[in-house]
Amino acid sequence: MAMKALALAQEYSELCRKFRRDLHQIPEPELNLPETSQYIQTVLQKYGIEYKLLLEGNAIVALVKGQDPNADADHNCLAIRADMDGLPIKEATGLEFSSKHPGFMHACGHDSHMAMALTTAVILSQHPNFFHGTVKFLFQPGEEIPGGALPMIKEGAMQDPKPNAVIGLHVGNLLEGVKNGQVAFKSGALMAAMDKFTLTIKGKSGHGANPDRSIDPIVIAAEVILALQKIVSREIPPVERAVVSVCKIEGGFTQNIIPDQVVLTGTSRSLNAKVQDLIERRIGEIAQGIAQTYGGSVELNYERYYPILNNDKNFTERVKALAKEMFQDRVITIENPTMGGDDMAYFLNEVPGTYFFLLNSMTDENGHYYSNHSDHFTIDESSLVTGMAIFLATVEDFLN
């Protein structure tokens, strides 16, 4: 059954490549994507595909209806999600279709995600007898930051009709030790909860030659950074996975002035709600205790960004079986979750579904992969067929 889906994906491969290259040239960040949104709308209009706009026109929900849109109530709507935003990176790929927007780049493959979803929508609009029910396409801004999935849900993206399941994918070099062209699935927790913390450490400024007359927030910050590493190594069970990383330090004016404050910013990742709670509590307690020891104080701002991304076991195994039918040994199982985060998690909290990885980064002259978020990142376009074929096979299987 899945081979018909593969044949359709191959038939439309050049259109997908065109969409990807066009979209690659117009990266836009966060939640403000007017040019990207307009491009997708133009294609949808050309093929007569129904859609509505959310988030002030920066998010798109499109509907493609097959035979008997009101078929089997338990299997009458499947959602396909594609994130849309680019990154504030100056592109250095040298591609003939490089970014036309200075300082911005599609360095995480979202151009490919859009292209595969958009081409799938076109294919289904041209082949309504391929499936029953409705396919809902969720074109989402702001995956990198500040998050677009939850605002879309709040504006009704998962209603009228409500999907019975949702599927999405991510391209790039996301796993170590895997071959280009492989497709990776995992049931259960795939990606970690992603939180941000900011510690504002306050002391008393003074002359660097007279530290005894000041309260040095730099010294406090240094001890806080080291102490926070003990949360994972000494307070979280070894069988659990967690990360606490301080990634930004702001403080000081010049070489002979002790500043009045230092700001630490970092990220924490967890795969367990209790561990997430513990990390938040202990960051505050440890930082406050050290600051008070040296006569200072601290303010913690802890923001919970994206929740744990959980794939439904039954649906994931179903899609994986379809992928294996088409791509055999290219389909692999992920053993351990990644500590990256993605707000696809919000859609998966609404309905069962799956999020899988399409491993397709291009390599440099030495055979090394350029990672996602690299200014040299690009993809092997031959793999676009793979993603489309899996989407189409899932539509055919789930909506028939």
Classify residue 83 as left (phi > 0), alpha (psi -120 to 50) or beta. Answer: beta
H/E stretch holding 328 reads none
Cβ distance 149 to 90 under 8 Å? no
Is 108 part of any known ligand binding site?
yes
The amino acid sitting at 73 is A
Cβ distance 265 to 243 under 8 Å? no
CA-CA distance, 102 to 105, in Å (whole number)?
Answer: 8
Cβ distance 353 to 315 under 8 Å? yes
Is 144 part of any known ligand binding site?
yes
CA-CA distance, 392 to 167, in Å (whole number)?
Answer: 11
Terminal alpha carbon distance of the chain: 11
Cβ distance 217 to 203 under 8 Å? yes
Is 110 part of any known ligand binding site?
yes
Taking CA atoms, 357 is separated from 105, 354, 398, 400, in Å, by 21, 10, 20, 25
Q: Which residue carries 């179903």 as its tokens?
A: 318
Cβ distance 164 to 397 under 8 Å? no
Is 373 part of any known ligand binding site?
yes
The amino acid sitting at 206 is G
Is 101 part of any known ligand binding site?
no
Binding residues for Mn(2+): 108, 110, 144, 170, 373
In the annotated binding site, the residues are 108, 110, 144, 170, 373
